[in-house]
Amino acid sequence: MATLNLTILGSTGSIGLSTLDVVRRHPSRYRVEALCAHRQADLLFEQCCEFRPGYAVIGDAARADALRSRLQAAGLTTEVESGPEALERAASLPQVDAVMAAIVGAAGLRPTLAAAKSGKRILLANKEALVMAGPVFMHAVREHGAVLLPIDSEHNAIFQSLPDDFQSDLSNSLPARGVRRLLLTASGGPFRQRDPASLVSVTPEQAVAHPNWSMGRKISVDSATMMNKGLEVIEAHWLFGMDADRIDVVIHPQSVVHSMVEYVDGSVIAQLGNPDMRTPIAHALAYPERIDAGVAPLDLFRIGRLDFEAPDFGRFPCLALAFRALRAGGSAPATLNAANEVAVEAFLNGKLGFTEIAPLISATLDALPARPLDTLDDVLAADEAARGLARAHLADRAAA
Ligand code: NAD
Ligand code: MG
Protein backbone atom coordinates (compact mmCIF):
# COMPACT_ATOMS: atom_id res chain seq x y z
CA MET A 1 0.00 0.00 0.00
CA ALA A 2 1.44 3.34 -1.09
CA THR A 3 1.56 6.14 1.47
CA LEU A 4 -0.94 8.94 0.85
CA ASN A 5 0.67 12.40 1.05
CA LEU A 6 -1.60 14.98 2.63
CA THR A 7 -2.05 18.72 2.82
CA ILE A 8 -4.31 19.87 5.64
CA LEU A 9 -5.80 23.33 5.14
CA GLY A 10 -7.07 24.48 8.54
CA SER A 11 -5.08 21.99 10.61
CA THR A 12 -5.69 23.83 13.90
CA GLY A 13 -9.49 23.82 13.62
CA SER A 14 -12.02 21.27 14.74
CA ILE A 15 -11.91 19.28 11.48
CA GLY A 16 -8.13 19.69 11.22
CA LEU A 17 -7.61 18.22 14.71
CA SER A 18 -9.96 15.31 13.97
CA THR A 19 -8.09 14.65 10.73
CA LEU A 20 -4.74 14.55 12.50
CA ASP A 21 -6.25 12.24 15.10
CA VAL A 22 -7.17 9.72 12.39
CA VAL A 23 -3.83 10.15 10.62
CA ARG A 24 -1.98 9.55 13.90
CA ARG A 25 -3.61 6.10 14.13
CA HIS A 26 -2.24 5.06 10.72
CA PRO A 27 1.35 6.27 10.48
CA SER A 28 2.28 3.93 7.62
CA ARG A 29 -0.72 4.92 5.48
CA TYR A 30 -0.52 8.72 5.63
CA ARG A 31 2.23 11.27 5.54
CA VAL A 32 1.54 14.93 6.31
CA GLU A 33 3.26 17.05 3.66
CA ALA A 34 1.78 20.44 4.53
CA LEU A 35 -0.03 21.99 7.50
CA CYS A 36 -1.84 25.34 7.22
CA ALA A 37 -3.34 27.51 9.93
CA HIS A 38 -4.39 31.09 10.36
CA ARG A 39 -3.37 32.42 13.77
CA GLN A 40 -2.70 29.60 16.23
CA ALA A 41 1.09 29.53 15.91
CA ASP A 42 1.75 27.56 19.11
CA LEU A 43 -0.56 24.75 18.06
CA LEU A 44 0.85 24.74 14.53
CA PHE A 45 4.35 24.52 15.99
CA GLU A 46 3.36 21.47 18.06
CA GLN A 47 1.73 19.86 15.03
CA CYS A 48 4.89 20.43 12.98
CA CYS A 49 7.03 18.85 15.69
CA GLU A 50 4.78 15.79 15.72
CA PHE A 51 4.09 15.32 11.99
CA ARG A 52 7.24 16.87 10.48
CA PRO A 53 5.68 18.29 7.31
CA GLY A 54 7.90 19.66 4.55
CA TYR A 55 5.80 22.80 4.37
CA ALA A 56 3.80 24.93 6.81
CA VAL A 57 1.67 28.03 6.21
CA ILE A 58 0.48 30.59 8.76
CA GLY A 59 -1.63 33.72 8.27
CA ASP A 60 0.92 36.56 8.39
CA ALA A 61 4.61 37.22 7.87
CA ALA A 62 5.42 38.04 11.51
CA ARG A 63 4.00 34.75 12.73
CA ALA A 64 5.77 32.93 9.89
CA ASP A 65 9.15 34.41 10.92
CA ALA A 66 8.64 33.40 14.52
CA LEU A 67 7.49 29.90 13.59
CA ARG A 68 10.44 29.43 11.22
CA SER A 69 12.93 30.30 13.97
CA ARG A 70 11.26 28.04 16.51
CA LEU A 71 11.21 25.11 14.07
CA GLN A 72 14.86 25.65 13.16
CA ALA A 73 15.79 25.76 16.82
CA ALA A 74 13.94 22.47 17.24
CA GLY A 75 16.01 20.96 14.42
CA LEU A 76 13.22 20.84 11.82
CA THR A 77 13.68 21.75 8.17
CA THR A 78 10.01 22.62 7.53
CA GLU A 79 9.67 25.46 5.03
CA VAL A 80 7.38 28.18 6.43
CA GLU A 81 5.42 30.72 4.39
CA SER A 82 2.44 33.01 4.89
CA GLY A 83 -0.41 34.49 2.92
CA PRO A 84 -3.04 33.35 0.43
CA GLU A 85 -0.59 32.33 -2.34
CA ALA A 86 1.21 30.08 0.10
CA LEU A 87 -2.10 28.33 0.86
CA GLU A 88 -2.65 27.74 -2.85
CA ARG A 89 0.87 26.38 -3.16
CA ALA A 90 0.31 24.00 -0.23
CA ALA A 91 -2.84 22.74 -1.93
CA SER A 92 -1.11 22.05 -5.23
CA LEU A 93 2.34 20.71 -4.25
CA PRO A 94 3.26 18.02 -6.81
CA GLN A 95 4.08 15.43 -4.14
CA VAL A 96 0.66 15.85 -2.47
CA ASP A 97 -2.06 13.29 -3.28
CA ALA A 98 -4.92 14.51 -1.13
CA VAL A 99 -6.00 17.85 0.34
CA MET A 100 -8.20 18.18 3.40
CA ALA A 101 -10.08 21.45 2.75
CA ALA A 102 -10.98 22.51 6.30
CA ILE A 103 -10.53 26.27 6.34
CA VAL A 104 -13.73 27.94 7.49
CA GLY A 105 -15.58 30.31 5.18
CA ALA A 106 -14.81 32.06 1.92
CA ALA A 107 -11.07 32.19 2.78
CA GLY A 108 -10.96 28.51 1.82
CA LEU A 109 -12.15 29.04 -1.74
CA ARG A 110 -8.90 29.80 -3.57
CA PRO A 111 -6.78 27.04 -2.01
CA THR A 112 -9.58 24.50 -2.48
CA LEU A 113 -9.92 25.55 -6.09
CA ALA A 114 -6.13 25.24 -6.47
CA ALA A 115 -6.40 21.64 -5.25
CA ALA A 116 -9.11 20.99 -7.86
CA LYS A 117 -7.02 22.53 -10.62
CA SER A 118 -4.08 20.31 -9.72
CA GLY A 119 -6.27 17.21 -9.88
CA LYS A 120 -5.96 16.25 -6.22
CA ARG A 121 -8.21 14.04 -4.16
CA ILE A 122 -10.16 16.70 -2.26
CA LEU A 123 -11.64 15.93 1.14
CA LEU A 124 -14.18 18.73 1.24
CA ALA A 125 -15.21 20.08 4.64
CA ASN A 126 -15.24 23.76 3.58
CA LYS A 127 -18.85 23.89 2.37
CA GLU A 128 -18.77 27.68 1.95
CA ALA A 129 -16.36 27.29 -1.01
CA LEU A 130 -18.82 25.07 -2.84
CA VAL A 131 -21.85 27.18 -1.91
CA MET A 132 -20.33 30.39 -3.25
CA ALA A 133 -18.62 28.96 -6.32
CA GLY A 134 -20.64 25.81 -7.17
CA PRO A 135 -20.48 25.83 -10.98
CA VAL A 136 -16.91 27.16 -11.13
CA PHE A 137 -15.65 24.66 -8.60
CA MET A 138 -17.42 21.63 -10.11
CA HIS A 139 -16.14 22.60 -13.55
CA ALA A 140 -12.56 22.71 -12.23
CA VAL A 141 -12.99 19.31 -10.57
CA ARG A 142 -14.21 17.70 -13.80
CA GLU A 143 -11.77 19.45 -16.10
CA HIS A 144 -8.71 18.51 -14.06
CA GLY A 145 -9.78 15.03 -13.00
CA ALA A 146 -9.86 15.85 -9.30
CA VAL A 147 -11.70 13.45 -6.97
CA LEU A 148 -14.18 15.06 -4.63
CA LEU A 149 -15.05 13.27 -1.39
CA PRO A 150 -17.50 14.96 0.99
CA ILE A 151 -16.53 15.32 4.64
CA ASP A 152 -19.69 17.06 5.80
CA SER A 153 -21.37 14.20 7.66
CA GLU A 154 -24.66 14.48 5.75
CA HIS A 155 -23.03 14.48 2.33
CA ASN A 156 -20.63 11.76 3.31
CA ALA A 157 -23.64 9.70 4.43
CA ILE A 158 -25.39 10.33 1.10
CA PHE A 159 -22.23 9.45 -0.78
CA GLN A 160 -22.04 6.16 1.13
CA SER A 161 -25.73 5.47 0.34
CA LEU A 162 -25.48 6.05 -3.41
CA PRO A 163 -25.07 3.44 -6.16
CA ASP A 164 -21.43 2.37 -6.50
CA ASP A 165 -21.15 3.60 -10.07
CA PHE A 166 -22.10 7.10 -8.99
CA GLN A 167 -19.39 7.08 -6.35
CA SER A 168 -16.78 6.48 -9.00
CA ASP A 169 -18.18 9.08 -11.40
CA LEU A 170 -19.87 12.18 -10.01
CA SER A 171 -21.20 13.06 -13.47
CA ASN A 172 -23.72 10.19 -13.38
CA SER A 173 -27.26 11.55 -13.14
CA LEU A 174 -28.87 10.36 -9.92
CA PRO A 175 -32.50 10.45 -11.09
CA ALA A 176 -31.41 8.26 -14.03
CA ARG A 177 -29.91 5.86 -11.46
CA GLY A 178 -33.25 5.52 -9.67
CA VAL A 179 -32.69 8.12 -6.96
CA ARG A 180 -35.86 10.07 -6.11
CA ARG A 181 -34.83 12.31 -3.21
CA LEU A 182 -31.98 13.16 -0.90
CA LEU A 183 -33.02 13.40 2.75
CA LEU A 184 -30.63 15.63 4.68
CA THR A 185 -30.94 15.15 8.41
CA ALA A 186 -30.53 18.04 10.84
CA SER A 187 -30.40 18.00 14.63
CA GLY A 188 -32.31 21.29 14.82
CA GLY A 189 -29.49 22.76 16.91
CA PRO A 190 -29.77 24.13 20.45
CA PHE A 191 -32.98 26.12 19.82
CA ARG A 192 -35.20 23.50 18.21
CA GLN A 193 -37.71 23.62 21.06
CA ARG A 194 -37.03 27.00 22.56
CA ASP A 195 -39.84 29.57 22.56
CA PRO A 196 -39.22 31.61 19.34
CA ALA A 197 -40.09 34.83 21.20
CA SER A 198 -37.12 34.26 23.53
CA LEU A 199 -34.58 33.95 20.69
CA VAL A 200 -33.97 37.71 20.64
CA SER A 201 -31.88 37.41 23.79
CA VAL A 202 -29.68 34.50 22.65
CA THR A 203 -25.99 35.05 23.45
CA PRO A 204 -23.03 33.79 21.37
CA GLU A 205 -22.16 31.30 24.12
CA GLN A 206 -25.68 29.82 24.02
CA ALA A 207 -25.64 29.66 20.23
CA VAL A 208 -22.31 27.82 19.97
CA ALA A 209 -23.32 25.16 22.53
CA HIS A 210 -24.47 22.46 20.11
CA PRO A 211 -26.30 19.50 21.70
CA ASN A 212 -24.62 16.72 19.66
CA TRP A 213 -21.56 17.98 17.77
CA SER A 214 -18.42 19.79 18.89
CA MET A 215 -17.45 22.20 16.09
CA GLY A 216 -15.88 25.58 15.28
CA ARG A 217 -17.76 28.73 16.33
CA LYS A 218 -18.96 29.81 12.90
CA ILE A 219 -20.56 26.50 11.94
CA SER A 220 -22.02 26.22 15.45
CA VAL A 221 -23.86 29.53 15.00
CA ASP A 222 -24.92 28.35 11.54
CA SER A 223 -26.34 25.23 13.17
CA ALA A 224 -28.29 27.32 15.69
CA THR A 225 -29.89 29.42 12.90
CA MET A 226 -30.09 26.32 10.65
CA MET A 227 -28.25 28.27 7.96
CA ASN A 228 -25.82 25.36 8.18
CA LYS A 229 -28.53 23.07 6.80
CA GLY A 230 -29.37 25.66 4.18
CA LEU A 231 -25.74 25.78 3.05
CA GLU A 232 -25.77 21.98 3.04
CA VAL A 233 -28.82 21.89 0.75
CA ILE A 234 -26.86 24.01 -1.73
CA GLU A 235 -23.76 21.87 -1.17
CA ALA A 236 -25.82 18.74 -1.93
CA HIS A 237 -27.16 20.32 -5.09
CA TRP A 238 -23.64 20.80 -6.45
CA LEU A 239 -22.11 17.59 -5.19
CA PHE A 240 -24.90 15.32 -6.38
CA GLY A 241 -26.52 17.30 -9.20
CA MET A 242 -29.98 17.23 -7.61
CA ASP A 243 -32.56 20.03 -7.94
CA ALA A 244 -33.82 21.89 -4.89
CA ASP A 245 -37.18 20.07 -5.22
CA ARG A 246 -35.47 16.73 -4.71
CA ILE A 247 -33.62 17.71 -1.52
CA ASP A 248 -35.59 17.53 1.73
CA VAL A 249 -34.52 18.47 5.25
CA VAL A 250 -35.57 16.10 8.04
CA ILE A 251 -35.16 17.10 11.68
CA HIS A 252 -33.62 14.21 13.59
CA PRO A 253 -32.59 15.32 17.09
CA GLN A 254 -30.37 12.31 17.93
CA SER A 255 -27.90 12.94 15.03
CA VAL A 256 -27.44 9.19 14.49
CA VAL A 257 -28.88 8.87 10.99
CA HIS A 258 -26.49 11.17 9.12
CA SER A 259 -28.64 11.39 5.96
CA MET A 260 -30.58 9.18 3.55
CA VAL A 261 -31.16 8.48 -0.13
CA GLU A 262 -34.65 7.57 -1.34
CA TYR A 263 -34.96 5.40 -4.47
CA VAL A 264 -37.90 5.06 -6.88
CA ASP A 265 -38.66 1.54 -5.66
CA GLY A 266 -39.40 2.89 -2.17
CA SER A 267 -36.06 1.90 -0.65
CA VAL A 268 -34.44 4.41 1.66
CA ILE A 269 -30.74 3.84 2.35
CA ALA A 270 -29.20 5.56 5.33
CA GLN A 271 -25.79 5.78 6.96
CA LEU A 272 -25.77 5.70 10.77
CA GLY A 273 -23.08 6.32 13.34
CA ASN A 274 -22.13 8.25 16.43
CA PRO A 275 -21.89 11.99 15.79
CA ASP A 276 -18.10 12.08 15.42
CA MET A 277 -16.47 13.70 12.39
CA ARG A 278 -13.65 11.16 12.48
CA THR A 279 -16.02 8.69 10.75
CA PRO A 280 -16.51 10.69 7.53
CA ILE A 281 -12.87 11.82 7.67
CA ALA A 282 -11.61 8.22 7.90
CA HIS A 283 -14.04 7.18 5.18
CA ALA A 284 -12.71 9.79 2.78
CA LEU A 285 -9.06 9.25 3.75
CA ALA A 286 -9.23 5.51 3.08
CA TYR A 287 -11.89 5.39 0.34
CA PRO A 288 -12.71 2.86 -1.04
CA GLU A 289 -11.16 0.94 1.85
CA ARG A 290 -12.16 1.20 5.51
CA ILE A 291 -9.91 2.05 8.44
CA ASP A 292 -10.29 2.43 12.19
CA ALA A 293 -11.34 6.00 13.02
CA GLY A 294 -11.13 5.74 16.80
CA VAL A 295 -14.91 6.19 16.98
CA ALA A 296 -16.88 4.24 19.58
CA PRO A 297 -19.27 1.61 18.14
CA LEU A 298 -22.86 2.77 17.78
CA ASP A 299 -24.86 1.54 20.78
CA LEU A 300 -28.45 1.39 19.48
CA PHE A 301 -29.78 0.02 22.77
CA ARG A 302 -28.46 3.03 24.65
CA ILE A 303 -29.87 5.41 22.00
CA GLY A 304 -33.19 3.56 22.16
CA ARG A 305 -35.17 5.59 19.65
CA LEU A 306 -34.75 7.67 16.53
CA ASP A 307 -37.13 10.62 16.05
CA PHE A 308 -37.95 12.55 12.88
CA GLU A 309 -39.94 15.72 12.35
CA ALA A 310 -40.52 18.33 9.65
CA PRO A 311 -38.44 21.53 9.81
CA ASP A 312 -40.13 24.71 11.02
CA PHE A 313 -39.29 27.33 8.39
CA GLY A 314 -40.90 30.05 10.54
CA ARG A 315 -38.60 29.39 13.46
CA PHE A 316 -35.62 29.01 11.13
CA PRO A 317 -35.95 31.66 8.38
CA CYS A 318 -32.32 31.09 7.30
CA LEU A 319 -33.29 27.68 5.95
CA ALA A 320 -35.93 29.28 3.71
CA LEU A 321 -33.42 31.92 2.58
CA ALA A 322 -31.01 29.22 1.44
CA PHE A 323 -33.70 27.47 -0.63
CA ARG A 324 -34.59 30.85 -2.08
CA ALA A 325 -30.96 31.52 -3.06
CA LEU A 326 -30.54 28.06 -4.58
CA ARG A 327 -33.70 28.50 -6.68
CA ALA A 328 -32.62 32.00 -7.76
CA GLY A 329 -29.30 30.48 -8.92
CA GLY A 330 -26.31 32.36 -10.38
CA SER A 331 -24.68 34.62 -7.83
CA ALA A 332 -27.46 34.31 -5.21
CA PRO A 333 -25.81 31.52 -3.16
CA ALA A 334 -22.55 33.54 -3.07
CA THR A 335 -24.53 36.54 -1.85
CA LEU A 336 -26.27 34.42 0.78
CA ASN A 337 -22.97 32.99 1.99
CA ALA A 338 -21.17 36.33 2.18
CA ALA A 339 -24.03 38.07 4.00
CA ASN A 340 -24.21 35.15 6.42
CA GLU A 341 -20.47 35.32 7.15
CA VAL A 342 -20.76 39.05 7.90
CA ALA A 343 -23.86 38.50 10.05
CA VAL A 344 -22.37 35.61 12.04
CA GLU A 345 -19.16 37.49 12.71
CA ALA A 346 -21.15 40.51 13.89
CA PHE A 347 -23.28 38.27 16.11
CA LEU A 348 -20.20 36.61 17.64
CA ASN A 349 -18.75 40.08 18.31
CA GLY A 350 -21.90 41.23 20.06
CA LYS A 351 -22.81 43.68 17.28
CA LEU A 352 -25.93 41.93 15.95
CA GLY A 353 -28.75 40.11 17.69
CA PHE A 354 -29.41 36.45 16.96
CA THR A 355 -32.82 37.19 15.41
CA GLU A 356 -31.29 39.93 13.25
CA ILE A 357 -29.07 37.49 11.35
CA ALA A 358 -31.79 36.34 8.93
CA PRO A 359 -33.16 39.86 8.20
CA LEU A 360 -29.63 41.08 7.38
CA ILE A 361 -29.15 38.23 4.90
CA SER A 362 -32.63 38.68 3.45
CA ALA A 363 -32.08 42.43 2.91
CA THR A 364 -28.77 41.69 1.16
CA LEU A 365 -30.41 39.12 -1.14
CA ASP A 366 -33.23 41.60 -1.90
CA ALA A 367 -30.79 44.32 -2.88
CA LEU A 368 -28.55 42.17 -5.08
CA PRO A 369 -30.51 40.33 -7.78
CA ALA A 370 -28.93 37.08 -9.00
CA ARG A 371 -26.42 37.53 -11.82
CA PRO A 372 -24.69 34.91 -13.97
CA LEU A 373 -21.81 33.18 -12.22
CA ASP A 374 -19.39 31.58 -14.66
CA THR A 375 -15.89 32.54 -13.52
CA LEU A 376 -13.89 32.98 -10.34
CA ASP A 377 -14.05 36.74 -10.92
CA ASP A 378 -17.87 36.54 -10.94
CA VAL A 379 -17.73 34.70 -7.61
CA LEU A 380 -15.34 37.19 -6.03
CA ALA A 381 -17.39 40.14 -7.30
CA ALA A 382 -20.61 38.69 -5.87
CA ASP A 383 -18.88 37.94 -2.57
CA GLU A 384 -17.44 41.44 -2.31
CA ALA A 385 -20.68 43.19 -3.26
CA ALA A 386 -22.65 41.23 -0.67
CA ARG A 387 -20.09 41.81 2.09
CA GLY A 388 -20.04 45.55 1.32
CA LEU A 389 -23.80 45.80 1.42
CA ALA A 390 -24.20 43.68 4.55
CA ARG A 391 -21.56 45.78 6.34
CA ALA A 392 -23.34 48.97 5.23
CA HIS A 393 -26.60 47.61 6.70
CA LEU A 394 -24.74 46.87 9.94
CA ALA A 395 -23.27 50.38 10.05
CA ASP A 396 -26.74 51.90 9.43
CA ARG A 397 -28.11 49.89 12.33
CA ALA A 398 -25.29 50.98 14.62
CA ALA A 399 -25.90 54.64 13.67
CA ALA A 400 -29.69 54.41 14.14
P1 NAD B 1 -12.71 25.99 13.00
O2 NAD B 1 -13.07 27.40 13.21
O3 NAD B 1 -12.58 25.07 14.15
O4 NAD B 1 -11.32 25.91 12.18
C5 NAD B 1 -11.09 26.72 11.06
C6 NAD B 1 -9.68 26.50 10.52
O7 NAD B 1 -9.53 27.39 9.41
C8 NAD B 1 -8.58 26.82 11.52
O9 NAD B 1 -7.52 25.91 11.36
C10 NAD B 1 -8.11 28.21 11.09
O11 NAD B 1 -6.74 28.41 11.35
C12 NAD B 1 -8.37 28.19 9.60
N13 NAD B 1 -8.63 29.51 9.06
C14 NAD B 1 -9.61 30.38 9.43
N15 NAD B 1 -9.56 31.51 8.70
C16 NAD B 1 -8.54 31.35 7.84
C17 NAD B 1 -7.96 32.17 6.83
N18 NAD B 1 -8.42 33.42 6.56
N19 NAD B 1 -6.91 31.69 6.14
C20 NAD B 1 -6.41 30.47 6.40
N21 NAD B 1 -6.92 29.64 7.35
C22 NAD B 1 -7.94 30.08 8.05
O23 NAD B 1 -13.78 25.41 11.94
P24 NAD B 1 -14.24 23.89 11.73
O25 NAD B 1 -15.39 23.61 12.61
O26 NAD B 1 -13.07 22.98 11.75
O27 NAD B 1 -14.84 23.98 10.25
C28 NAD B 1 -14.00 24.02 9.10
C29 NAD B 1 -14.86 23.84 7.87
O30 NAD B 1 -15.44 22.53 7.91
C31 NAD B 1 -16.04 24.83 7.79
O32 NAD B 1 -16.24 25.18 6.46
C33 NAD B 1 -17.22 24.02 8.31
O34 NAD B 1 -18.44 24.44 7.75
C35 NAD B 1 -16.85 22.63 7.83
N36 NAD B 1 -17.45 21.56 8.63
C37 NAD B 1 -17.11 21.42 9.95
C38 NAD B 1 -17.69 20.43 10.71
C39 NAD B 1 -17.32 20.23 12.15
O40 NAD B 1 -17.78 19.28 12.78
N41 NAD B 1 -16.49 21.08 12.75
C42 NAD B 1 -18.62 19.56 10.14
C43 NAD B 1 -18.94 19.72 8.79
C44 NAD B 1 -18.33 20.72 8.05
MG1 MG C 1 -23.04 18.82 8.29
Whether pLDDT at 46 is above 80: yes
Whether pLDDT at 171 is above 90: no
> What is the chain's mean pLDDT, rounded?
96
| pLDDT tier at 157, thresholds 50, 70, 90 | very high
Please write the tens of the pLDDT for every residue from 50-65. Answer: 999 999 999 999 999 9
Residues 217, 235: Cα–Cα separation, whole Å: 20
Q: Is 189 in the pocket of ligand 1 (CB under 6 A)?
A: no
* Phi, psi of 27, rounded to the nearest 5 degrees: -60, -25
Whether pLDDT at 167 is above 70: no
Residue nearest to atom 7 of ligand 1 (CA): 103
From 14, 42, 48, 231, the mutation candidate for ligand 1 (largest count of ligand atoms within 8 A of CB) is 14
Q: What is the pLDDT of residue 372?
A: 97
Whether pLDDT at 162 is above 90: yes
Q: Is 12 in the pocket of ligand 1 (CB under 6 A)?
A: yes
15 CA to centre of ligand 1 in angstroms: 7
231 CA to centre of ligand 2 in angstroms: 9
Choosing among 3.40.190.10, 1.10.1740.10, 1.20.810.10, 1.10.3080.10, the CATH entry for 329-400 is: 1.10.1740.10
Nearest in space to 283 (alpha carbons), one of 123, 170, 165:
123
> Which atom of ligand 1 lies closest to the CA of 37?
11
64 CA to centre of ligand 2 in angstroms: 32
| pLDDT tier at 398, thresholds 50, 70, 90 | confident
Residues 140, 189: Cα–Cα separation, whole Å: 34
| pLDDT tier at 170, thresholds 50, 70, 90 | low
Q: What is the pLDDT of residue 168?
A: 57
> Which atom of ligand 1 lies closest to the CA of 213?
40
Residues 158, 160: Cα–Cα separation, whole Å: 5
From 40, 215, 341, the mutation candidate for ligand 1 (largest count of ligand atoms within 8 A of CB) is 215
Q: Which residue has the higher pLDDT, 80 or 196?
A: 80
CATH superfamily of 4-150: NAD(P)-binding Rossmann-like Domain (3.40.50.720)
Residues 392, 338: Cα–Cα separation, whole Å: 13
Q: What is the SS3 assignment for 124?
A: strand
Q: What is the pLDDT of residue 165?
A: 74
| pLDDT tier at 211, thresholds 50, 70, 90 | confident
Please write the tens of the pLDDT for every residue from 312-341. Answer: 999 999 999 999 999 999 999 999 999 999
Contacts of 367 (CB under 8 A, 6+ apart): 389
Domain boundary assignment for the chain? 4-150, 152-316, 329-400
Residue nearest to atom 5 of ligand 1 (CA): 13
Nearest in space to 293 (alpha carbons), one of 46, 31, 1, 29:
29
Please write the tens of the pLDDT for every residue from 117-140. Answer: 999 999 999 999 999 999 999 999
Provide the whole-model pTM: 0.97
